[in-house]
Structure 1
Amino acid sequence: MASILYSFRRCPYAIRARYTLLSLSITVELREVVLKNKPKALLDLGGRTTVPQLLVGNERYSESLDIIFWALSFSTNQALVSKLWPSNPNTRVKIMTWLSFNDHCFKPWLDRYKYADRYTEQSERYYREKGERFLRRLDARLANSPYLMGEHITIADIGIFPFVRQFAGVNREWFEQSRYAHLRAWLNAFVESESFQIVMKKFPAWEESQQVTYFPESS
């Protein structure tokens, strides 16, 4: 029986979870969720009902990073795992630092920038400039290598690019004309990839009566 992934297509947390599962060729049963009408099966789990959520037998993973690390531990492709999550302790600390800054410092400003009409204490430009502090760090790092940790994609890249994509989408014209050329090239490499097209395929909202949908789909 396949593990079950509750997901929402556009959620950046869910995107990074699905991208990791796809990269590691791990198949799950996909249950696409409409956030305003969450299925009873998800609500009945109790506790947090945010997405993504992964059910593996009696185990439940309610955070996207937990799903990513489960996938790394489950995968039999150790060559790829060692690139996505290098064994060097210093590299791992750097990866987690990038991810922590993204999730705890950048994401709040991203939300305010995207929904500036709800956060009327400051202007949209104010929130954008706060978020740009992270963009500058990313762009400076990517000026020296194609990925955040060097020559290979790691979970730092996978874990961050969906949020930068969302930030860029608030005002696409501004982002395309911004000074972050290295960041744009890095982001475009992800969003123009075949993997991203697979990750972002649209699925109907899951219902208990429907046929099982697998992700990634078998070719």
Structure 2
Amino acid sequence: MKALLVGATGATGKDLLDLLLKDDSFHQVDIFVRRYPDFQHEKLNVHVIDFDKPEQWKHLVKGNVLFSCMGTTLKAAGSKEAQWKIDYEYQYQFAKAAKENNVGHYVLVSSVDASPNSPIFYSKMKGQLEEAVRALGFLKLSIFNPPLLIRKNTDRIGEVAGLKAFHFLNKLGIFRSQQPLSTEILAQAMINSAKIKENGIFTVKGQAIRKYVEA
């Protein structure tokens, strides 16, 4: 298979890229980034693009499966408008280009509480994106709604505090269904979903993601 990946520089994207390059099921991995990575690989094909100019790169979005794990925080983006552009517009543009180029499978990392009717900006944005990509009509669409993610060497203070709190509560038997998930497990589950030869829309929430790795 030929894999396409957007969001390769984020925590989940880095793990996903590493696993894809090691997986013999994928003969080529194309990533779309703002700048060249500091490593090379015989299976890796790098497209350095301007995400604001889809007319320049949309013809390159061709392959068997598109993995999308772009995302940023409101703090890093600087405003809701900037976060919307990265988390919604860029991802939707790639999904649309993939559908137009007959990519059969789209794999999206969303949010555990995504809902187009949510009063919370982030959750509503993720829910609206899910609705939009469903409407594109991919032969196969896999949406992952992970719980709090364990990112390697994270510098997000709130995330670190949240992980500590969840670990404590999980030890007490509380919130087991919302047990934090490592980005590596999420990445492997995404890859495994691409190997399942069944079309349709699949929404994988919370701890069910682990089953894709354990199977």
Relative contact order higher in (CA < 8 Å, ≥ 6 apart): 1
In terms of fraction of residues, the more strand-rich structure is 2
What range describes the TM-score normalised by the shorter chain of this pair? 0.3 to 0.5
Larger radius of gyration: 1
- Tell me the TM-score normalized by structure 2: 0.33
TM-score by length of 1: 0.33
